[in-house]
Structure 1
Amino acid sequence: MQIPVAGAAPSEVTSGQATYISGGVGSDEAAEMKSMASRYALEVVSVVKTEPREEYTADFRILIRDKTGKTVVDAVSEGPFFLANLPDGSYQVEAIQNDLRKLQRVLIKKGTHQRLVFVWPR
């Protein structure tokens, strides 16, 4: 697991065949993560539902499992944006925030970009 360094720009982490980066705390870093998103096969965004809009939230745990159930990523996102490059295939993405668990499935294909949004209650 990556250890964050205060004030440092987000850096990529490699776990097996997966490469990922997380961050987006603060407007500059959020803009940087948004501009990088299209270079990754998977973009995961975490938000809290508030009225009248949604707010980004950080520090959620993310587990990505392949079609056999093997965990290929187990990380804590350092911001509301989590970007990953994974081998082609079907994946189950589980996000955990304040003891709540949510699951989504995604199909990764070379040359495509998938975006998942996890919305949490206030």
Structure 2
Amino acid sequence: MVHLTLKNLGLLSLLLTFTLNVNASEYWTGGIGLESRQEAPQKNTRFEFFDQSRAYIADIDFTITNSTGDTLVEGLATGPWLILELPDGLYTFTGIQRETKEQRRHPFSARQGQPQTHRIQY
């Protein structure tokens, strides 16, 4: 049996908040058409995916890991833009384009208040 006091609940709440902030589980993907781009959220990390002819592409299975190799977020970018908020740190983006099976790996850093765009060519 676990007994939680208010002191314990405060610490538990702090730990849960920290975990949710580090595990950037929410992301936005889109960018097809002007309306979709206007709806894009303002976050500190954005990826744009394109092919050799510089045309936007989609359907990228992706994983973002931190500097210790822990997976923070993974999913499918159904549009040419992937946008998320990450805490300050060093990360690696790994993506596989579903149609061609090409894989890309891109180390990057994130900083609060300093939006960055990473362009990944397949």
TM over 0.5: yes
Tell me what 1:64 maps to: 64
Number of aligned positions between the proteins:
100
Q: Which runs of 4+ in 1 moved over 6 A?
A: none
Change (3 A) 1:60 1:83: same
Determine if contact 1:24/1:30 at 8 Å carries over to the other structure.
yes
Tell me what 1:99 maps to: 101
Structure 2: distance between partners of 1:24 and 1:86 = 20
TM-score scaled to structure 1, two decimals? 0.74
Alignment identity in percent? 25
Question: SS state of the match for residue 55, structure 1?
Answer: coil
Shift of 1:26: 2.6
TM-score scaled to structure 2, two decimals? 0.74
Larger relative helix fraction: 2
Answer yes or no: is 1:25 the counterpart of 2:32: yes
Determine if contact 2:22/2:87 at 8 Å carries over to the other structure.
no
Structure with the greater alpha carbon radius of gyration: 2
Structure 2: distance between partners of 1:47 and 1:15 = 29
Tell me what 1:85 maps to: 85
Determine if contact 1:66/1:92 at 8 Å carries over to the other structure.
yes
Q: RMSD of aligned C-alpha atoms?
A: 1.8
Answer yes or no: is 1:116 the counterpart of 2:118: yes
Shift of 1:27: 3.2
Deviations 1:13-52, CA, capped at 9 Å, x for gaps: x89631311011233213433xx3xx211100000122xx
Unaligned runs of at least 5 residues, structure 2: 1-19
Structure 2: distance between partners of 1:16 and 1:104 = 19
Determine if contact 2:23/2:73 at 8 Å carries over to the other structure.
no
Structure 2: distance between partners of 1:74 and 1:16 = 14
Larger relative strand fraction: 1
Unaligned runs of at least 5 residues, structure 1: 1-13
Shift of 1:107: 1.0
